[in-house]
Amino acid sequence: MRLVAISDIHINEHDDNGLTCFRNFSTHALVKDATHIALMGDIFDLVAGNHHEYDKRWEEVFKIIKSFCEQGKVVYFAEGNHDMHLKRLLSRISSGWHSHATHLVHIEDYLVIDFLGKKVHLSHGDELNVHDVTYLKYKKFIKKFPMGLIADFILPISVLDYLGHKASKKSRKYGSTRFNEEDVRFKFREGLSKYFNTGIDIVVGGHSHVTDNYLNGNLTYLNNGYPPKSNKFIVIDNEGPRLETLV
């Protein structure tokens, strides 16, 4: 039994670093014989709602996910803040996969699984940034009904694409001028306190783009950072929870 996880690769049409990362992840020896694959949000730089345009655009990614499922692996796909309202999209994409479709598990918010005797919390990890009240309010608004229906049926893909490009340009600008890795790491570690005394042993999350492998009491926190730069992904198996190098 092995669970491997990756987040925040931000696959984008206009630069192929994210896609290269995903290809490298999918062919890694530790991933090839993993039993569980967790894709933990912001895998795509912008995917929102059940639009047919995504089928062709991200055909290669969906094919890789399909092949994982056909090999009998369980694939968790958690929503991030760049890829959300995916329930209908994922169920439509996997509808032709017959019995393998049940191997694809959509996580809208979070999921706690029992794995090798440990309770593992899987989510995009943005809930750990408890100080960012404005962001958490935005997230709550954008995730709730009827925003999913609006993303699926009302907003055309051209508007979503336009908004997405603006948002990622803005976050890159923000990233370059105001980003202090140590501050961010510290804040996310502080957020871990919400999992103290909950029975959870391992928290797998991303979002911060800062790598971490941190033990606090009995609680382990793993974050692969921004893999196009960090070159890391997460592994949990009999050798314990850890970060591994992609290539």
Q: Which residues bind Mn ion (CB under 5 A)?
A: 42, 80-81, 207
* Cα distance between residue 85 and residue 94, in whole Å: 16
* Cα distance between residue 246 and residue 22, in whole Å: 10
Q: How far is the CB of 142 from Mn ion (least distance, A)?
A: 12
Beta bridge partners of 44: 11
Q: How far is the CB of 49 from Mn ion (least distance, A)?
A: 18
- The smaller minimum CB distance to Mn ion, of residues 80 and 228, is found at 80
- The smaller minimum CB distance to Mn ion, of residues 206 and 241, is found at 206
At 130, which amino acid appears?
Answer: V
* Cα distance between residue 91 and residue 106, in whole Å: 9
Structure-token pair, residue 167: 């948002």
- The smaller minimum CB distance to Mn ion, of residues 42 and 45, is found at 42
Q: How far is the CB of 179 from Mn ion (least distance, A)?
A: 14
- The smaller minimum CB distance to Mn ion, of residues 69 and 122, is found at 122
Element (H, E) at 135: helix 133-143
Question: Nearest-CB residue to Mn ion?
Answer: 207
Q: How far is the CB of 124 from Mn ion (least distance, A)?
A: 6
Structure-token pair, residue 60: 């290669």
